[in-house]
Structure 1
Amino acid sequence: MTAPVITSWSAVSPYGLGRGAFVAGVAAGRSAVSRPEDWPVPRQRVAPVPDFVTAEVLGRKGTRSMDRVSALAAAAADELLGADSRHREVATGERAALVLGTTAGSSTSMMDITRDTHTRSMPFHIDTPRIPNAIMNSPAAQCAIRHGLKGPNTTVAGGRVAGLFALRYSLRLLSSGHARSVLCGGVEELTQDRGWLEHLVGDPDRPTVLGEGCSLLLLEPAAPPDRPVLAEVIGVTLGVFREDGPDGALANCLSRTMARAGVTAADLWAVSPAVGQAEVRLDGHTPLPLPGAEAWGDAGAAAAPFQIASVLAAAERDPTARGRVAAVLSADRDNVLGCALFRIAKEPGSQHV
């Protein structure tokens, strides 16, 4: 393999903490969506990360003022970097980059600080330790500080497509030599503030099912000589679509990405479709459909990273995936879309989780 490769991954998802919980949930075909009795938003179902309490998951040191979105990202980084000593060696220190997709950071942190400026006795009497949380790049910065990531640290905004934006940016860092490895992914929090925002801007007759979490990939510029890999990234294409809907634009994006990568319909093993996208069929061939938002809700900036994780999870237990290609398609209501292609390794990669 000569293209950039994925050597490991982690997930903190509505299936639970850790990669193992995600793999088990995908394998069982289980939905993590529920309707909690105490959820205040009308008619809205949600898929939260279960039993996620920051101090219990990450410890109390350095987490007192950490908001939920930063804690989710830190937990995913903890899992990936703690899974194997080599991961920490490769993915920390100088020229170890982190690229994290987001929608708009933490809506709750932004709204809390804005509310404080109106309700405190003076506008500047706000809870100052929470100010960094209101900045969009806070999760990426806190992960870098926590783990000693001293290379490029980047936050990319793009809603559901943010994970593919982050992947494209990561490939540029590797190809230009600005990083020797990249932790790449996306994170989204599920809070009441986000729930109300989505409720007010969405279709009241089709309430959004919201999810949350974080998934990270460990990307390296080429296959290491002493280490199996999971997949290589053979193409990422980003674009826009018109108001008439993304289906046609997504099909065209997939075709263009496959043509550039030299991939035929017969090479395509599986597809993770965008939210609401119909079944993908190419030249009479229907690739294996993989689970998406119907299983873990609309995870916002974590949506595409969860889709990539579902590709890797499914490939672990499907021998027909070896050496073949999987596609991840994504589209956001702000008229951006993307497609990424991954060639699954011919031999299963060994993981220590």
Structure 2
Amino acid sequence: MNAVVTGIGLAMPGALIPSDLTTGTAVGAAPVDPAARIGKKGLRHQDRATQLALCAARDALNSAGLMLGDARMSTQRGGAPVVDAELLVPAESVAVVVSSNFGNLDSVCEVVAAISADHGTRLISPVLAPRLSSNVTASELAIRFGLRGPNVMVCNGATSGLDAVHWATIWLSSGRARHVLVVGLEPANDVVRQLLGHDQPLDGAAALLLETTKAAAGRNAPALAGVDGYLRTGG
């Protein structure tokens, strides 16, 4: 077994901790409030997908013992943003893989609609531009938590989440990273509902912290689960 899970984080209606997944229900549960979880500072210009990912990722990093602090953002005198979080391992050793199929699609559609209505980009705010990149969520996680390892976004259909975990194991086995933050998320918004035809698609995120067995043992971090084989077939 080359990789183990040492941290878990959730940001789902009715599921704040892993045990809620077997006892709770998303039906009728209140939506996740990212501002209550990690503070509203720094969230104003983030799309829903990124906000959910930040919540789940923060909890996974903390539960794995890789980070201390609640990752709330504040502003120093002079305007420089500060994040209340201390990474306990080298920043270059922590990679990020994010999986989502509809992540920032609402932001893209918003901009397309504005361009169509105005026949140009005059109405597009500069702060919206970063949200148009498909890898915006993975990038924001790296920025917020100071993670400088490999960084990628996976948009791969129904298997995206499992593929993201596989990417993590590749980086671990190849030595590209010693720890990998894996986040899967899907937001619920009008764009997603129109595409899926569902009244209420799941609005949430889940995060795992994977690391090599050697890295986990070196930190005396308990292994919550092991990750071994992976098989992908077509048809």
TM-score interval, normalised by the smaller of the two chains? 0.7 to 0.9
1:79 corresponds to: 59
Q: Quote the sequence identity (%).
A: 29
Task: Indicate yes or no: 2:30 matched with 1:50.
Answer: yes
Asked if the contact 1:72/1:213 (under 8 Å) is kept, the reply is yes
2:81 corresponds to: none
TM-score, with length taken from structure 2: 0.82
Question: 1:17-52 deviations in whole A, cap 9, x for unaligned?
Answer: x32xx41341x2x43235xxxxxxxxxxxxxx7243
Asked if the contact 2:115/2:123 (under 8 Å) is kept, the reply is yes
How far the C-alpha of 1:14 sits from its partner, in A, is 2.2
1:138 corresponds to: 136
Q: 2:231 aligns with which of 223, 226, 237?
A: 237
Partner of 1:194: helix, strand, or coil?
Answer: helix
2:203 corresponds to: 212
Give, in whole Å, the separation in 2 of the partners of 1:210 and 1:86: 32
Q: 2:195 aligns with which of 190, 194, 197?
A: 197
Partner of 1:175: helix, strand, or coil?
Answer: helix
AA of the residue aligned to 1:218 = L
Asked if the contact 2:178/2:212 (under 8 Å) is kept, the reply is yes
Partner of 1:187: helix, strand, or coil?
Answer: strand
Give, in whole Å, the separation in 2 of the partners of 1:15 and 1:209: 14
Question: 1:126-169 deviations in whole A, cap 9, x for unaligned?
Answer: 12211211211111111110000000011111123111111111
Partner of 1:240: helix, strand, or coil?
Answer: coil
Asked if the contact 1:105/1:135 (under 8 Å) is kept, the reply is no
How far the C-alpha of 1:109 sits from its partner, in A, is 0.6
2:39 corresponds to: 59
Task: Indicate yes or no: 2:224 matched with 1:224.
Answer: no
Q: 1:23 aligns with which of 6, 12, 19?
A: 19
Give, in whole Å, the separation in 2 of the partners of 1:221 and 1:163: 19
1:147 corresponds to: 145
Distance 1:99 1:66, change over 3 A: same
Give, in whole Å, the separation in 1 of the partners of 2:52 and 2:123: 28
Give, in whole Å, the separation in 2 of the partners of 1:95 and 1:84: 14
Give, in whole Å, the separation in 1 of the partners of 2:176 and 2:63: 25
Distance 1:101 1:11, change over 3 A: same
How far the C-alpha of 1:238 sits from its partner, in A, is 1.6
Greater relative CO, 1 or 2 (CA 8 Å, sep 6+): 2
1:14 corresponds to: 13
1:177 corresponds to: 175
Question: 1:312-327 to 2 correspondence within 5 Å?
Answer: none
Give, in whole Å, the separation in 1 of the partners of 2:61 and 2:160: 22
Give, in whole Å, the separation in 1 of the partners of 2:222 and 2:62: 18
Alpha-carbon RMSD across the aligned residues, in angstroms, is 2.2
Aligned residues between the structures: 213
Partner of 1:77: helix, strand, or coil?
Answer: helix
Asked if the contact 1:104/1:136 (under 8 Å) is kept, the reply is no
Question: 1:213-250 deviations in whole A, cap 9, x for unaligned?
Answer: 11111111114142321111111112222xxxxxxxxx
1:33 corresponds to: 27
Distance 1:51 1:31, change over 3 A: closer
How far the C-alpha of 1:53 sits from its partner, in A, is 3.5
Give, in whole Å, the separation in 2 of the partners of 1:131 and 1:176: 34
AA of the residue aligned to 1:10 = G
Give, in whole Å, the separation in 2 of the partners of 1:167 and 1:157: 13
How far the C-alpha of 1:185 sits from its partner, in A, is 2.7
Give, in whole Å, the separation in 2 of the partners of 1:65 and 1:58: 15
AA of the residue aligned to 1:234 = D
How far the C-alpha of 1:71 sits from its partner, in A, is 0.2
Distance 1:217 1:54, change over 3 A: closer
Report which of the two structures shows the higher radius of gyration computed on alpha carbons.
1
Give, in whole Å, the separation in 2 of the partners of 1:57 and 1:24: 17
Gaps of 5+ in 2: 68-86
Partner of 2:139: helix, strand, or coil?
Answer: helix
How far the C-alpha of 1:9 sits from its partner, in A, is 1.0
Q: 2:122 aligns with which of 124, 129, 154?
A: 124
Give, in whole Å, the separation in 1 of the partners of 2:164 and 2:37: 26
Give, in whole Å, the separation in 2 of the partners of 1:84 and 1:170: 16
AA of the residue aligned to 1:152 = P
